[in-house]
Chain A
Amino acid sequence: MRVQTLTNYNRRKKRLNFLANFILGIFVIFAVAPIIWMIATSLMTQGQIATGKIGAPNHFENYLEMWKNVNFFQYFKNSIIVCGSTTIVALTIATLAGYAVSRFNFPGAGIFGATVLATQMVPGIMFLLPLYLMFIRIQETLGIRLINTYPGIVIVYSAFFIPFSIWILRGFFASIPIELEEAAIIDGCSKFGAFIKVILPVAKVGLIATGIYIFLMAWDELLFAWVLTTSSEVATIPVGIRLYVGNYQNRYDLLMAAGCVTTLPVLLIFFGLQKQFITGMTAGAVKG
């Protein structure tokens, strides 16, 4: 009798496991198929896409053509410069602030934390025209050009991604035991010295995770790029891709090739540092 129920139990468990794997499999296909289709169409001729007669996707010329037709390399370079600088600036400022919020019980800490969260409730579009006008005013009165320059867009992006980064890093720093600094201070470090020498190395994973997050968000930004970077010397990829569409209606082969090239760097960064990203993000964000 007992043996009977045990095998029944095992059989049921096996069946459930199979079902679970089957459902997961379907979702994995759903997750990956569009990306595969993007890669496949980027290697097809226009005729193959239009007629639906899918031959071997081996039309690598699309990738050559897309760099030639629109100066995609310039946009790509701009995106790298803008997103890289944004990541460095925002991460530095957010690290300092995140550490302060997690470790010091200073008057105003509560208000500061609440403000940081409240900024996330304001839609980006709210800032767009005021910032544009503000930049124009600055140019007229102080002579500092911010529209269509790297510093202008980097300042805007950094400021936008600072609040959320503070929020993640705050949680991450809070998960580091306070005894570490206390030990360093007993050993003769100053408070700030303890932060630089002891806490930062321990927090490396959280910093990498936040950095990746900032980079991905900046890479993905569209609204401000369209308004603040109109000249091709500083315009980022979304602006460039929009040009394609204007110039080459329905060149899906080229569009998909551009999509692949746009996705590739973030994909490489993400999967290269996936482990750090997951540990860092979850330590910071799960805590809430």
Chain B
Amino acid sequence: MKHTGKKREVRSPKKKKTGMLERIRQNKLAYCLIAPAIIAMIVIHFIPIVSGIIMSFLKLNQFTLKKFLKAPFIGLDNYEAVLFDANSTIRSGFFDALRNTAIFGLICSILVISIAMLLAVLLNRKFRFRGIARTLLMTPWVVPSFVVGMLWGFMWQQDGIINRILVDILHLFPNKPFWLTGPAVMVAIIIPTIWRQVPFVMLMLLAGLQQIPEEYYEAAKIDGANAWRSFCNVTLPLLRSVLSIQILNGIISYVYSFNIVSMMFGHGAGFPGKYGDLLMTNINRNSFQIWQFGTGAAATVVVMVCVMGLVAIWYRIFQNDLVVDE
């Protein structure tokens, strides 16, 4: 940006002269502007996170919850129950959920990004029904995710519309398969998630594509690049910053995915079974159905640490793409 350079020239000598206090005084307005946001984040984010971490060290269940301030401190026992106690059901449930979430997150990330990329490239041409196509492709994103879970839970029923199409019309299977029990559950939760996630990612990638100047492609063409080569050498590198944000967004939203799965199985009442239980549904059930709040909190902390690890890896890969215009 043009003005950035100018700003730096003016500001940097000033910075050396003025001390920290002076700069704080100069930016009084800025602090006033962020004050409400800071208060909101301290009260609703910071305090609960700290108390959540503290809770993971307490023996907190339906009996001690009433006087939670006096709940007994049990050190790392909750973590042991979640991670190491080979006999506890909490551990086996947690590891099932961990495995499922890993598979779910990986497949969803790959498929969502690639389908969204394909659609964005296809939509980035000039054709007659482009506006209509984009609008229709966007629609699934507007359907609330708990409705998505409800709707697909209905469609995946054994005599539901999907089996009717697959078996009665296309004759792909000899018998109507069960989608909502057994290992097939993974398919049943991945497809609706993709269905709802692709539109938004597609929109962002499309916006990124439209910012790439046409000349780059012309230059690539003159150099003799075919469509695939110019995609790999022009489009992908220039989309890296958009892609990186969408990948981060994906990591967080798939690991913390809850709504679709929890509504799909008995519409919020059911248990997706050990093949479809995700980390968030598992923790939610542990905490609010069998009242093991302490282990629930410990499991949450473990998941959070895993996500931070993933984000750290993400940051190492994409850190160079994040410097935009500052």
Across-interface contacts of A109 in B (CB, < 8 A)? 30
Could you say which of A27, A122, A125 contacts B280, with CB atoms under 8 Å apart?
Answer: A125
Across-interface contacts of B11 in A (CB, < 8 A)? 105
Residue of A nearest to B270 (CB): A245
B241/A288 in contact, CB under 8 A: yes
Residue of B nearest to A270 (CB): B142
B203/A282 in contact, CB under 8 A: yes
Across-interface contacts of B133 in A (CB, < 8 A)? 24, 28
B27/A106 in contact, CB under 8 A: yes
Could you say which of A129, A162, A259, A286 contacts B151, with CB atoms under 8 Å apart?
Answer: A259
Q: Per-residue CB proximity of B168-210 to A under 8 Å, as 1/0?
A: 0000000000000000000000000001000100011001100
Known contacts A123-B280, A125-B258, A286-B208; decide if A267 and B139 are in contact (CB<8 Å): yes
Across-interface contacts of B211 in A (CB, < 8 A)? 286
Q: Which residues 270-326 of B sit at the A interface, judged by CB distance below 8 A? A: 280, 283-284, 287-288, 293, 296-297, 300-301, 303-304, 307-308, 311, 321-322, 324-326
A11 adjacent to chain B (CB < 8 Å)? no
Across-interface contacts of A219 in B (CB, < 8 A)? 144
Q: Per-residue CB proximity of A145-160 to B under 8 Å, as 1/0?
A: 0000000000110111
Q: How far is the CB of A107 from chain B (nearest CB, A)?
A: 5
A245/B267 in contact, CB under 8 A: yes
B325/A287 in contact, CB under 8 A: yes
B144/A266 in contact, CB under 8 A: yes
B44/A222 in contact, CB under 8 A: no
A252 adjacent to chain B (CB < 8 Å)? yes
Q: Interface residue count for A (Cβ, 8 Å)? A: 92
B33/A97 in contact, CB under 8 A: yes
A227/B268 in contact, CB under 8 A: no
Across-interface contacts of A17 in B (CB, < 8 A)? 125, 127
B52/A252 in contact, CB under 8 A: no
B48/A134 in contact, CB under 8 A: yes
Instruction: Give the interface centre of B41, B68, B155 by most chain A CB atoms within 10 Å.
Output: B41
A-B contact count (CB 8 A): 258
B308/A121 in contact, CB under 8 A: yes
Across-interface contacts of B118 in A (CB, < 8 A)? 23
A101/B48 in contact, CB under 8 A: no
B108 adjacent to chain A (CB < 8 Å)? no
Across-interface contacts of A101 in B (CB, < 8 A)? 34
Q: How far is the CB of B220 from chain A (nearest CB, A)?
A: 17
A183 adjacent to chain B (CB < 8 Å)? no
B17 adjacent to chain A (CB < 8 Å)? no
Across-interface contacts of B311 in A (CB, < 8 A)? 121
A211 adjacent to chain B (CB < 8 Å)? no
B37/A127 in contact, CB under 8 A: no
A163 adjacent to chain B (CB < 8 Å)? yes
Contact stretch, chosen from A2-10, A29-37, A62-70, A199-207? A29-37
Known contacts A104-B27, A263-B142; decide if A24 and B122 are in contact (CB<8 Å): yes
Q: Per-residue CB proximity of A178-213 to B under 8 Å, as 1/0?
A: 110000000000011000000000000000000000
A31/B47 in contact, CB under 8 A: no
Q: Per-residue CB proximity of B222-244 to A under 8 Å, as 1/0?
A: 00000000000000000001101
B266/A106 in contact, CB under 8 A: no
B195/A127 in contact, CB under 8 A: no
Q: List 10 A-B contacts (CB under 8 A).
A: A34-B140, A96-B36, A97-B34, A107-B24, A123-B300, A160-B44, A178-B3, A223-B284, A271-B142, A281-B207
Interface residues of B (CB under 8 A from A): 3, 7, 11, 20, 23-24, 27, 29-31, 33-34, 36-38, 40-41, 43-45, 47-49, 51-52, 55, 65, 68, 115, 118-119, 122-123, 125, 127, 133, 135-140, 142-147, 150-152, 154-155, 159, 161, 164, 195, 199, 203-204, 207-208, 211, 241-242, 244-245, 252, 255-256, 258-259, 262-263, 266-269, 280, 283-284, 287-288, 293, 296-297, 300-301, 303-304, 307-308, 311, 321-322, 324-326
Add 20 more A-B contacts to A130-B48, A162-B40 (CB < 8 A).
Answer: A17-B125, A32-B136, A35-B143, A37-B155, A38-B147, A93-B40, A96-B34, A104-B33, A106-B24, A121-B304, A126-B49, A126-B297, A127-B44, A130-B47, A134-B48, A159-B43, A174-B325, A216-B144, A256-B151, A263-B142
